[in-house]
Amino acid sequence: MATELEELAGRLRRFGAEREWEKFHTPKNLAMALAGEAGELLAEFQWLTPGESQRPDPETLGRIRGELADVLNYLVQLADALEIDLMEAAYDKIDVSERRYASDIYRGSARKAPPLSP
Amino acid sequence: MATELEELAGRLRRFGAEREWEKFHTPKNLAMALAGEAGELLAEFQWLTPGESQRPDPETLGRIRGELADVLNYLVQLADALEIDLMEAAYDKIDVSERRYASDIYRGSARKAPPLSP
Amino acid sequence: MATELEELAGRLRRFGAEREWEKFHTPKNLAMALAGEAGELLAEFQWLTPGESQRPDPETLGRIRGELADVLNYLVQLADALEIDLMEAAYDKIDVSERRYASDIYRGSARKAPPLSP
Amino acid sequence: MATELEELAGRLRRFGAEREWEKFHTPKNLAMALAGEAGELLAEFQWLTPGESQRPDPETLGRIRGELADVLNYLVQLADALEIDLMEAAYDKIDVSERRYASDIYRGSARKAPPLSP
């Protein structure tokens, strides 16, 4: 049975195939598209204070929702193109971070310990 | 019953709570972290030809897998912080793109039609 | 007489030529490299408060200086590859922004007026 | 005598001061804005082949010129805010890269040697 993300990957595969866009969707290009959408996401937050970023006005929130969707869609297409299991990769990374950032040592401090980074 | 992404969001919430990292995890900061990981992803592909990007060597593929995981984990945390349903947002965006890029018109051409962009 | 940025462009051109790296330095790849460095720059700031970002510790400041250098070097190489005069483009953009964001209307407000954006 | 980039920094400082935008222009926010513009730059190149990226059509080239200007303007503002000498930093980085990537060893190969990266 296909999981949630596999179903999304299937839908995106059909979407691209119907338009013969596969030639554009190399991993290199998808990584660029993903990063481009991440840049649009940044633009929504860049002049907000950290506090304001927690309560965006409805119009901004709607645009943020759209950017998150774009990031997810390109992410799923990229993982699909390289046959990477996204959920497995995500949990593997958390397992590593659990060991790397022992909760009793890193409590309340992120400076030297960028959460969940490589 | 929690979906796949909701379960991942729950795991990440506990991970952050155990380290008291919630104060770092404002939407503004999470958007920066997501874009930073997207930048690391770009770095893996930047000197590859489009063709080479389709068959990265195992070491590179392992790093790409890690970057995709980082992007997903920050994406899920950001959506969670703003109470956005990622899967619903992703399908909404595809629905819009289906209507916007009619397959008989845009077949084989992406120039004027960046797939799945706002 | 060559200007400051033209001299830097010349130095970078020789650096690439000596290593026969011109084939890697297509505008597409240089744009990816630039964005990758911008992502590394973000990573330096992501967990800092806005106030903290104004006074990074010496070690962080040293890394930020290196990232800014990387961004400038790729920016200059990209402009050089496309024969774009960076300084002229920068002043043109400010001229447009001067007209677009009249100082008596936009004073103290950046929400609806992302400074210097297109 | 002020150099080219110092003059640009001065112009940008006056532009911001006239609009009382200094409060928005923390290094953290400027880094986000810079990365956001780098993302818009990516979007111009993402569906182009490497070869096409060397000869963008005039309309695309005009937009690329605008994005490069935005990146430079935020880069100069960020360096100015942190009192970093951009030109000095750029040459320092090239000096390091000259030593790191000996031209007789790295000739023609960028895989393991991302040019000008840290």
Record: contact D114-B46, CB cut-off 8 A: yes
Q: Which C-chain residues 81-100 have CB contacts (< 8 A) with chain A?
A: none
* CA–CA separation, D58 and D88 (whole Å): 34
* Shortest distance, CA D33 to any CA of chain A (angstroms): 6
Note the pLDDT of residue A74: 98
Note the pLDDT of residue D118: 37
pLDDT tens, position by position, B8-62: 999 999 999 999 999 999 999 999 999 999 999 999 999 999 999 999 999 999 9
Residue B43 in contact with partner chain A when CB distance is under 8 A: no
pLDDT lower than 70: segments of chain C: 1, 110-118
Give which of B111, B116, B117 to mutate to test D binding, by max D Cβ within 10 Å. Answer: B111
* CA–CA separation, C37 and C33 (whole Å): 6
**What pTM was estimated for this model as a whole?**
0.93
Q: Between chain A and chain B, how many beta carbons pairs sit less than 8 Å apart?
A: 230
Question: Which candidate, D85, D43, D82, places its Cα nearest to that of D60?
Answer: D43
* Shortest distance, CA A40 to any CA of chain B (angstroms): 10
Token readout for C47 is 């967990």
pLDDT tens, position by position, D32-48: 999 999 999 999 999 99
Report helix, strand or coil for D115: coil
Neighbouring chains to A with at least 3 Cβ pairs closer than 8 Å: B, C, D
* Shortest distance, CA C77 to any CA of chain D (angstroms): 11
Query: Cβ–Cβ contacts within 10 Å for residue A101, how many?
Result: 22
Give which of C46, C48, C63, C73 to mutate to test B binding, by max B Cβ within 10 Å. Answer: C46
pLDDT tens, position by position, B81-101: 999 999 999 999 999 999 998
pLDDT tens, position by position, A25-83: 999 999 999 999 999 999 999 999 999 999 999 999 999 999 999 999 999 999 999 99
* CA–CA separation, C53 and C50 (whole Å): 5
pLDDT of residue A116 exceeding 70, the answer is no
Residue B47 in contact with partner chain D when CB distance is under 8 A: yes
Q: Which D-chain residues 57-86 have CB contacts (< 8 A) with chain A?
A: none
Neighbouring chains to B with at least 3 Cβ pairs closer than 8 Å: A, C, D
DSSP H helical ranges for chain D: 4-18, 27-45, 50-53, 58-81, 86-100, 103-106
**CA closest to D6 among chain C residues:** C4
Record: contact C114-A43, CB cut-off 8 A: yes
DSSP string, A86-113: HHHHHHHHHHHHHHHS-HHHHTT--TT-
Question: Which candidate, C115, C22, C31, B83, places its Cα nearest to that of A31?
Answer: C31
Give which of D111, D112, D116, D117 to mutate to test B binding, by max B Cβ within 10 Å. Answer: D111
D35 vs B contacts (CB less than 8 Å):
32, 35, 39
Neighbouring chains to D with at least 3 Cβ pairs closer than 8 Å: A, B, C
B100 vs A contacts (CB less than 8 Å):
none
Residue B52 in contact with partner chain C when CB distance is under 8 A: no
pLDDT tens, position by position, D46-78: 999 999 999 999 999 999 999 999 999 999 999
